[in-house]
Amino acid sequence: MPELPEVETVRRGITPHLIHQEVSSVEVFYPPITHGLSGAELTQLIQGKKLSAIYRRGKYLIFELTDCLLVGHLRMEGKLQFITRSKNPFNPSKHVHWVIHLANGNSLVYHDTRKFGRWHLYPETTDLTKVQELEGLGLEPIEDLPLDYFYHGVHHRHLPLKQLLLDQHILLGLGNIYADDTCFEAGIHPFTLGHHLTKKQCRAIEIAAKNVLERAIIAGGTTIRTYVASEYIDGLFSNPTKVYGRSGEPCDVCGSMILKSMRIGRSTHWCPTCQERRK
C-alpha cells in the first residue's frame, strides 16, 4: 500500500502510542514475514525492551528498542493497527501476521493481505549502518539534495524516467502513484530516457517529487487527526492524484484525455499535452 507519504503518516500516527512503551510479548502467525522467527523467539529477544524511537527511511520503518532495531517494509498491502487494551483480547483475522503486545495492555498489529511485507530484527545493535535493507538507498526527495543529484543518477541510464523514479537507489520513497504524478508535475513524459534528460529537467523532477510527496504527507496529516485507534492506518487519504488512476479522464490543467500504458508489469499514466514527448 504505502509509498513514502503513507509510511511517514503511519510513523507519525503510531509514534505517540508506542514511544517509551515496553514490549511484553510477541505473537507471530506467519513466520516468513519475520525472517522465520516465531513468536516465542521474538518474545525472547525483545521482551522487556522499550521503544525509544521510530524512524523512516524511504518506505522502510525502523523501530528502535533498547539495544536493538526492528526494520520493516510494508510492500504492497502491509498495514499497522494500534489497538488499546479495551479491544484486547484481540481476535486476529487471517491476514494478521504478527502482534506486539505492550506491558500497558495495548498492542500493535501487523496486517498484510498479500504477505509481501518483511520485518527484520537486529537483536544487538541500534546502528543503522548495520542494516542491510538500508544499504545503497538513495536520498530523500523531501530533504535538500546535492547540486544536480538526480541528473548524475540518471544521465547515463537507458531506462525511461518512470522506471528511474521507481529505483530506490536514486530517489527514495516514490512508488507507482507518486512517480506518475511527479512526471506530470514536472511536465515531462514518463518514457523519456534518462540519458535524454537535461540538468534543468532533472532539477524540475527533484522539485516536483518534493512537492508531490510533501502535499501527500500534509493530506495524511489532516486525515490522521480523524484516526481512530481501532482502525488500520493505511494512508489512502483524500489526496487526489493528477494522473495516476485517471486514464480516460480530462487533465485538470488542459483538458486532454489522460493516457495509460502497461510496461514492465506496471501501469503508467500521463497527459499527452502537458507532458509532450521530446525524444
- Nearest approach in angstroms of CB 234 to DNA is 6
223 contributes a contact to DNA by CB under 7 A: no
Residue 169: other Cβ atoms inside 10 A: 11
- Residue 29 or 90: the one with the smaller Cβ distance to DNA is 29
Sign of CA dihedral 38, 228, 222, 258: positive
Active-site residue, 11 included:
no
Catalytic site residue from 56, 59, 242, 246: 59
Per the omega criterion (within 30 degrees of 0), is the bond before 32 cis?
A: no
User: In the numeric block, which cell numbers belong to residue 268?
Assistant: 503508467
- Residue 85 or 114: the one with the smaller Cβ distance to DNA is 114
Active-site residue, 59 included:
yes
94 contributes a contact to DNA by CB under 7 A: yes
Catalytic site residue from 41, 260, 266, 272: 266
- Nearest approach in angstroms of CB 53 to DNA is 21
Active-site residue, 3 included:
yes
234 contributes a contact to DNA by CB under 7 A: yes
List residues bridging with 111 in a β-sheet: 79, 96
Number of residues that bind DNA (CB under 7 A): 36
265 contributes a contact to DNA by CB under 7 A: yes
Residue 56: other Cβ atoms inside 10 A: 18
The window from 11-19, 21-29, 49-57, 68-76 that contacts DNA (CB under 7 A) reads 68-76
d(CA 59, CA 74): 8
- Nearest approach in angstroms of CB 141 to DNA is 14
d(CA 233, CA 235): 6
d(CA 31, CA 260): 38
59 contributes a contact to DNA by CB under 7 A: yes
d(CA 50, CA 37): 20
Kindly give, in sequence order, each residue whose CB lies less than 8 Å from that of residue 38, ignoring residues fewer than 6 positions away: 28, 31
Catalytic residues: 2-3, 59, 266
- Residues in touch with DNA (CB under 7 A): 1-3, 6, 32, 58-59, 73, 75-76, 94-95, 113-116, 133, 156-159, 163, 166, 168, 175-177, 194, 234-236, 262, 264-267
